Amino acid sequence: MATIIHIETSTDICSVALSQDGLCLFSKEDREGPNHARVLAPMVEEALGLADSRGLTLDAVAVSAGPGSYTGLRIGVSTAKGLCYGRNLRLVGVKTLELLCVPVLLEHEEIPVDSLLCPMLDARRMEVYTALYDRSLHMVGEVAPLVVEEDSFRETLEQRPVVFFGNGAAKCKNVIRHEKAIFIDHIEPLARYMLPLADKAMAQGDTEDVAYFEPFYLKAFIAGTSKKLF
């Protein structure tokens, strides 16, 4: 286990957390954004102050690795790299869509055992960044930009339930209409949900090269292929 500062900036919400051995010691969120350029540094300083006041030795910085907001990701990664260089810390990249699955798994035991998880990040119009995961967070198909249409997930939904969530899922409720489609509201990628993913990465030695790490922006969209993605 390790002591880690967590930085999440992939959406309009900016959040920071501090954890030690899997326990959350500090968590703060700003929902008035996007204000990342203004609020992230003070939030990080507050987390660092707590760690220093308790004599904790930091091991790593975990940061949202995308997809998501280009500007938000850039600010978050730049801040994380600065911390890593300044304090000689390791860097952990946390995939945003995988992060979105954590609160669903932790707080929604009512979802069917055989369901697939479909996190969605809002992009523009009817476009989302999305992927499919099983309940063990094994990816079923690659992360993809998707123009959501009525039949986008029909083949998968004919086989098993799919749980849709994230800020991109809300605009799909009136489009994806199937008896096995389940929508969960108010699921957000927050720094405090990074803990299990970051701890697992550290335990496995899955850290990034600080000099060369770049977030996964996934900016390009391919129109007219949504029916075949899932």
Report pTM.
Answer: 0.93
Burial of residue 134 (number of CB atoms within 10 Å: 0-12, 13-18, 19+): middle
In 9-95, beta strands by DSSP E = 14-20, 23-30, 60-64, 90-94
d(CA 65, CA 6): 12
pLDDT given for residue 86 in this prediction:
96
Structural tokens at position 138: 């094994």
Q: What share of the chain in percent tops pLDDT 70?
A: 95
d(CA 66, CA 50): 27
Instruction: For the chain, give the mean pLDDT.
Output: 93
46-61 residue pLDDT tens: 999 999 999 999 999 9
94-122 residue pLDDT tens: 999 999 999 999 999 999 999 999 999 99
